[in-house]
Structure 1
Amino acid sequence: MSINHIVTPLDSAILDSKEQYVFYHKKVDFALKELIVGVQQNGLCTPQEVVFFKQYCDLLLYSIEAMRVKYMYDEEDNMKVDVTDSGFPNYLEFRYLFNDLSLRDNYLNKLKDVSELQDEFLDQLLRKKQPVKRDKLYQAASIVYYTSVEQQYIFNRFVQGKIIKAPENSEAKFMTSWSFYDVSLNRPFICFMYFDYDGNDPLKEKDDIYETLKAVADRKMNMDTMAYGIDKRLKNVYPKYFKRIDVGAFHNVFAKDDNDLTHTILDAISKKEIPLEAYALSLKIHEVYTGGEFKEGGYFKKQILQNWSTPIKEGFVFAPHRIIQLLYNKNPEIMNKLAKPPFQVSDLKIK
């Protein structure tokens, strides 16, 4: 497989062969698992945040694996990977997957019985001594897909976490998390809110809290703007600290964006200086803290709101040792601006 074999109409790369599906999904699976370990080992999240971070990444991995099964032998449609500044599947792929699984029963009724399909496979392989036809493989993949993939585990545009008591020595008494897939950037974001509550149990207002987060914080925006929007709509909730993790871009052979790190890796791959499996993963963490309170509103209706600090913005890169050397050599100005030196992760080796 070469870079030129990956078709890229507009802003998506289309995976149009079994080999490309296998290759891409191994890369994403491997990189995200390395990221989870790297985030924990390098203290970028608290132990409780790491638990939530892993859960959201697991949903993402589950969804991408479901896409692999769904599209593996599909001759009519191909999966699209965003190439603008992402490297992850296009958001519409998650939407198609979710909607498709809503019609699970309709599709299952149209598929052949498993035993009948097994007999056809055995006849083709043992009696006729011929490979199984692609349409039969697609039928088998469809059976696996519709009988094993659960809609509730698909990474949706917005995924809400539970409200829990914050760990000791936290900025506030309670915390919650949520994740969203930004439809313009095609990247996953994972967020945390630490807050106090005017009362004993914020779960009494959990529906209002969840609805507010979904309405106000389901896309990338300035952190102080997001914090003010949430604070203003929830009168009994007093946010104290927000943290947002931007996962991506995923710099690899399937990405063809304007990102300098991506171009460096693609150029080195084309010159065969590094293998096709080479990758790097950017990660950005934005934080904002409360800086006191102020009152807003008229004489008869005032609301206490939070002043917010200037957002803290930090960038990180995870990459194997050889790629770190390459990026420092070609993009020293970018690498030197990172919050910390690049975190080394394992090489991916695909035979």
Structure 2
Amino acid sequence: MSINHIVTPLDSAVLDSKDQYVFYHKKVDFALKELITSVQFNKLCTEQEMTYFKQYCDLLLYSIEAMRVKYMYDDEDNMKVDLTNSGFPNYLEFRYLYNDLSLRDNYLNKLKDVSELQEEFLTQLMHKKEPVRRDKLFQAASIVYYTSVEQKYIFNRFVQGKITQAEAGSQAEYMVSWSFYDVALNRPFICFMYFNYDGKNPESIKEELYDTLKNVADRKMPLDTMAYGIDRRLKDVKPKHIKRIDLGPFHNIFAKDENILTHSILESIAKKEVPLESYALSFKVDEVLSGSEFKEGGYFSKQTLQKWSDIIKQNYVFAPHRIIQLLYNKNPEIMNKLAKPPFQVADLKMK
């Protein structure tokens, strides 16, 4: 099926042709790399945050590339892209990858020897003058997938970063980062928490801290609720500043949600006002800061907790120049409320 005739259900799109795989993966890879460059250039993260932001995005890119290799020639399974408010692969695709790679050795033992497969390819191409059969291409892709993809680099539902000394000028002495893929929204989030610690070395409470983040900060919720949950569980940790970045939605031909920006782009693609490759990426930053403190609990179990500021919400959009013009023309009420004017990124050119 041609990429010009993509038909999808309401909640997810099944990529069921080589053209669609190439098109989708090229688009996501290009948009995320443009995003990384632009976030750094426009200083939406500090230098320290940017280091971790790149690492989490690299895990995401690595996982999506692994999906491309795994599914390209597979006639039985097809990759699903979430359409509800995401444009990114469905969370289950990451879970399948992770679980599948746990059985790597079992699959490798069943695959043909590389030299034997190479000989078959040469016979088919050079002697029979015929294209290589799809099932043989799938075998070759499987060898590449199971011998080169590392399970530890797959973007999981929750990815924990390390505790580090916060850079000069920060709200607190230490910083910890983490990332999660929200199961309901099918979008990646990246978080940073700046905190003080009453003890000598925060490494002594890292297991408790990591466990807390994994249990109470692994999905989208009001940021002050997340901050309170973290603060309440960690008696010796004093959170001072929490920052959460929401990557998405990714507005493109594969995202048929009710988002106004997505709808505007799809409408223009349908009218051939903009090319099929057109895209935009929403990017949201929520932050809370602690002010004074208060005590909670009974006489024998009082705990000092932080009072949090109102949530500081900043919405941004990244898009090529033509799409920025289009969105201003169609949705000025949204574009004029952004924290900053839209950030221009490069056009994707498909040959």
What's the TM-score, normalizing by structure 2? 0.99
Superposed, which structure 2 residues align to 1:74-223 within 5 Å? 74-223=74-223
Q: How does 1:1-351 map to 2 (within 5 A)?
A: 5-351=5-351
- The code of the aligned residue for 1:81 comes to V
User: 1:172-197: per-residue Cα shift (whole Å, max 9, x none)?
Assistant: 00000000000000000000000000
CA deviation profile, 1:256-291 (whole Å, cap 9, x unmatched): 000111111111111111111110000000000002
The alpha carbon displacement at 1:10 in A equals 4.0
Shift of 1:5: 2.5
1:244 match: secondary structure? strand
**C-alpha distance in structure 2 between counterparts of 1:254 and 1:137, whole Å:** 26
Structure 1 unmatched runs, 5+: none
What's the secondary structure of 2:192's corresponding residue? strand
Task: Write out per-residue CA displacement over residues 26-46 of structure 1, whole angstroms, 9 at most, x where no aligned residue.
Answer: 110010011011111111110
3-state SS in 2 of match to 1:163: strand
Instruction: Report the TM-score, using the length of structure 1 for normalisation.
Output: 0.99
Distance in 1, matches of 2:288 and 2:6, equals 40
1:252–1:266 CA contact under 8 A, matched in 2: yes
Q: Distance in 2 between matches of 1:82 and 1:6?
A: 14
Change (3 A) 1:142 1:350: same
Read off the aligned partner of 1:40 and give its amino acid letter. Q
Q: Aligned partners of 1:260, 1:51: CA distance in 2, in Å?
A: 32
Q: Moved runs in structure 1, 4+ residues, more than 3 A?
A: 1-4
Contact (CA 8 Å) 2:2, 2:19: kept in 1 or not?
Answer: no
Amino acid of the structure 2 residue aligned with 1:179: S
Once residues 231 and 6 of structure 2 are traced to their aligned partners in structure 1, the CA distance between those partners, rounded to angstroms, is 46
Q: Which amino acid aligns with 2:149?
A: V
Q: Distance in 1 between matches of 2:301 and 2:267?
A: 61
Shift of 1:2: 6.3
CA contact (8 A) 2:3 2:20 kept: no
Q: What do the CA deviations read for 1:278-332 (whole angstroms, capped 9, x no partner)?
A: 1000000000000210011111221110000110111000000000000000111
Q: Please give the root-mean-square deviation of Cα atoms over the aligned residues, in Å.
A: 0.9
Contact 2:87-2:251 within 8 A present in 1 as well: yes
Q: Percent identity?
A: 78
Q: How many pairs are equivalent?
A: 351
SS in 2 for 1:212: helix
Deviation at 1:9, TM superposition (A): 2.7
Q: Give, in whole Å, the separation in 2 of the partners of 1:10 and 1:110.
A: 38
Q: Deviations over 1:132-187 (max 9, x none)?
A: 00000000000000000000000000000000000011000000000000000000
> Residue 319 of structure 2 contacts residue 343 of structure 2 at CA under 8 Å; is this kept in 1?
yes
Q: Structure 2, unaligned stretches of length 5 or more?
A: none
Is the CA contact (8 Å cut-off) linking 1:251 and 1:262 kept in structure 2? yes
8 Å Cα contact 1:294/1:307 also seen in 2: yes
In 1, Cα distance between equivalents of 2:107 and 2:46: 43
1:104-127 CA-to-partner distances (Å, cap 9, x unmatched) read 000000000000000000000001
- Distance in 1 (alpha carbons) for counterparts of 2:127 and 2:236: 72
What amino acid is aligned across from residue 277 of structure 1 in structure 2?
E
Question: Whole-Å Cα distance in 2 between the matches of residues 125 and 3 of structure 1?
Answer: 28
Could you say what secondary structure the match of 1:161 adopts? strand
SS in 2 for 1:178: strand
* 2:182–2:188 Cα contact (<8 Å) kept: yes
